C-alpha cells in the first residue's frame, strides 16, 4: 500500500528521534517517496545528514535558506503529501499544532496539508498524562488526525510508564492498514465472520465437538481485512493466531456463539458463517466427571438454536449473509434448500468427498450458489485463495445491492 505514496515525515525534538532513522528505512523499503522535515530542536538529537542519506532526499528544516536564498513552499509540500506523519512529536509541537501555532516549517506544512495526518507522541509519562497534553490530543483527534499511541516501557528519564514512541514497524503497519482502508473496496464496511468448532459440554472434562480447525474462517478474516473492511471474528476453540487488525471474540459453545453473533449482527454489513456449530448438545451437563461405572452411556441431546436461520430472519435489505454447507449426499439440492430456508444471499458448498478438501487441511474445493440460482464451481485451492474467491462473490453481490 505504500509503494509510490508521497510521505512527509516530521521529526521533532525528542530523544526518540533516533527511531526516525529506522522509520525512514522502512518507508523507503516499502517504496514510498519520503520527504523529511525537522524542527530546529530535532537537529540536536539526530543529524539531517543521516536522514537525508536514508531518505535519498534533502532534509528540510527552515522555510528560508539564507545561504542559497531558496524559499521552501510549505503549501506545495502540503499538497504533495499523501500522508503526513509526525514521529516523534514532542509535547511542545503537539501543543503548537493542536492550537494552530505556526512558527516553523513543519507546523506550516501541517496547516497546509490536505492529506491524512498521523502523530506518534514521545515524552515522559507525567508530560503525557498531564491534562493539557491530553486536551491537545483530543483536539487533534477532533480534527480527524490519527493518533499512533505511545507505548508503555522504560523512558529516557529512567522512569517506567506510558510515553515511549511506537516502534517504527508498528507505525509503518498502522499507516499501511489505514491507507488500505481509505482506498480499499470494502472501506467503511463491517464484516462479521465466524470460525472454528463449538464444544458442547457433557461434564467438566468432556464435550461433543467436531474436527473444524477454523482455518477457512481465519483466511476469510485476513482477506476481508485486507480489502479494507473492519472485521470481527467470532472463533470457537482453535490454536490459530488472530490476523492483523482483526477484532477477535473467543467462544466455546453454540449458545455463546449465538450471543456473540446476536450482539454484533445489527451493525454488520456482511455476515459470513463459516463456523461448524454443533447441531445438538447434552440436555443436562453433569456437575461432576462421569465415572466409567457402566459399559454404555446414554446422552439425552437437544437441538441447539440455528444461528444462521435466526439471523437470516432478521436480515436487513442492505445486509449480505453468507452460509456454508458441508454435505456428503445430494450436495447441491441440500445446499440450495439451506440457502432458501435460511434467507441467505450466498451459500458455499463443500463436500467431504472432494479429495484434499476438508476440515483440518490447508486446501478447499467449493461451489458457490447465490439467491438467484447462479452457481460457480472452483478448483481445489489453498484456503486463502478460496477466501479471495468468496470475497469476489461478495463484492459482486454488494455492488448489486448498492
Residues 233, 214: contact at Cβ < 8 Å? no
| Residue 56: band (very low, low, confident or very high) from pLDDT cuts 50, 70, 90 | very high
pLDDT, tens only, 126-180 = 899 999 999 999 999 998 899 999 988 877 877 788 888 999 999 998 888 777 6
- What are the φ/ψ torsions at residue 158 (nearest 5 degrees)? 95, -10
Q: How far is CA 276 from the centre of its chain?
A: 23
**Which is catalytic among the residues 210, 250, 334, 343?**
210
Range 68-89 average pLDDT = 83
Kind of pairing between the strands at 190-195 and 160-164: unpaired
**Mean pLDDT along residues 60-69:** 73
Q: Which of 14, 15, 21, 18 is nearest to 36 (CA)?
A: 21
- Looking at the DSSP bridge assignments, the partners of residue 152 are 162
- The pTM of this model reads 0.59
Q: What is the pLDDT of residue 288?
A: 93
- Tell me, what's the pLDDT at 3? 80
99 in catalytic set:
no
Q: Angle of helix 19-29 relative to helix 48-55, nearest 10 degrees?
A: 10
Which of 69, 82, 63 shows the shortest CA–CA distance to 9? 82
User: Of 156-160, 233-237, 282-286, which range is least confident?
Assistant: 156-160
Q: Set out the domains of the chain in order of their start, with CATH numbers.
A: 6-182 (3.40.50.1950), 185-287+299-401 (3.40.50.10300)
CB 195 within 8 A of CB 218: yes
Q: What is the 3-state secondary structure (H, E, C) of 252-306?
A: CCHHHHHHHHHHHHCCCCEEEECCECCCEEECCCCCCCCCCCCCCCCCCEEECCC
Please give the full DSSP string across 125-174, using - where no structure is assigned: HHHHHSHHHHHHHHHHHHTT-EE-PPEEEE-TTS-EEEEEPPPHHHHHHH
Taking residues 325-340, report their average pLDDT.
90
- The rounded distance, in Å, linking the Cα atoms of 14 and 105 is 17
Binding site per annotation, positions: 279, 289, 324, 338, 342
Residue 105 has a pLDDT of 92
Predicted pLDDT of residue 226: 80
Q: 95: how many CB neighbours lie within 10 A of its CB? A: 16
Rounded to an integer, the average pLDDT of 356-381 is: 85
pLDDT for the residue 289: 92
Task: Compute CA distances 236 → 145, 193, 202, 214, whole Å.
Answer: 36, 11, 17, 8
- Please report, in range form, the residues annotated as the binding site for CTP: 279, 289, 324, 338, 342
Is residue 206's pLDDT more than 80? yes
Q: Of 221, 256, 222, 259, whose CA–CA distance to 236 is shortest?
A: 256
Amino acid at each position: 500500500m505504500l509503494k509510490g505514496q508521497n510521505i512527509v515525515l516530521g521529526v521533532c525534538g525528542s530523544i526518540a528521534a533516533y527511531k526516525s532513522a529506522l522509520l525512514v528505512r522502512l518507508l523507503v523499503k516499502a517504496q514510498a517517496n519520503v520527504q523529511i522535515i525537522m524542527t530546529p530542536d530535532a537537529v540536536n538529537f539526530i543529524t539531517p545528514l543521516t536522514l537525508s542519506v536514508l531518505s535519498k532526499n534533502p532534509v528540510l528544516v527552515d522555510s528560508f535558506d539564507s545561504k542559497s536564498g531558496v524559499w521552501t513552499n510549505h503549501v506545495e509540500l502540503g499538497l504533495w503529501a499523501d500522508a503526513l506523519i509526525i514521529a516523534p512529536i514532542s509535547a511542545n509541537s503537539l501543543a503548537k499544532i493542536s492550537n494552530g501555532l505556526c512558527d516553523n516549517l513543519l507546523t506550516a506544512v501541517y496547516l497546509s496539508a490536505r492529506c491524512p495526518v498521523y502523530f506518534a507522541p514521545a515524552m515522559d509519562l507525567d508530560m503525557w498524562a498531564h491534562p493539557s497534553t491530553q486536551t491537545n490530543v483530543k483536539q487533534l483527534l477532533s480534527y480527524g488526525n490519527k493518533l499512533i499511541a505511545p507505548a508503555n516501557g522504560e523512558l529516557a528519564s529512567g522512569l517506567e510508564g506510558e510515553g515511549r514512541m511506537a516502534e517504527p514497524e508498528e507505525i509503518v503497519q498502522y499507516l499501511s492498514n489505514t491507507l488500505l482502508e481509505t482506498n480499499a473496496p470494502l472501506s467503511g464496511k463491517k464484516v462479521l465472520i465466524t470460525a472454528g468448532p463449538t464444544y458442547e459440554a457433557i461434564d467438566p472434562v468432556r464435550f461433543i465437538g467436531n474436527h473444524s480447525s477454523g482455518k477457512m474462517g481465519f483466511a476469510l478474516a485476513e482477506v476481508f481485512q485486507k480489502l479494507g473492511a473492519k472485521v470481527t471474528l467470532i472463533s470457537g476453540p482453535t490454536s490459530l493466531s488472530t490476523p492483523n487488525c482483526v477484532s477477535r471474540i473467543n467462544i466455546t459453545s453454540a449458545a455463546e456463539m449465538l450471543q456473540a453473533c446476536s450482539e454484533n449482527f445489527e451493525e454488520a454489513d456482511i455476515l459470513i458463517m463459516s463456523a461448524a456449530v454443533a447441531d445438538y448438545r447434552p440436555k443436562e451437563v453433569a456437575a461432576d466427571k462421569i465415572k466409567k461405572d457402566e459399559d454404555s452411556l446414554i446422552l439425552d441431546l437437544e437441538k441447539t438454536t440455528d444461528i444462521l436461520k435466526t439471523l437470516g430472519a432478521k436480515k436487513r435489505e442492505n445486509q449480505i449473509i453468507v452460509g456454508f454447507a458441508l454435505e456428503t449426499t445430494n450436495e447441491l439440492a441440500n445446499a440450495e434448500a439451506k440457502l432458501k430456508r435460511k434467507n441467505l444471499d450466498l451459500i458455499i458448498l463443500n463436500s467431504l468427498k472432494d479429495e484434499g478438501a476438508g476440515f483440518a487441511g490447508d486446501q478447499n474445493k467449493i461451489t458457490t450458489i447465490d439467491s438467484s440460482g447462479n452457481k460457480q464451481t472452483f478448483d481445489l485451492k489453498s484456503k486463502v485463495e478460496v477466501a479471495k474467491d468468496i470475497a469476489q462473490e461478495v463484492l459482486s453481490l454488494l455492488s448489486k445491492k448498492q
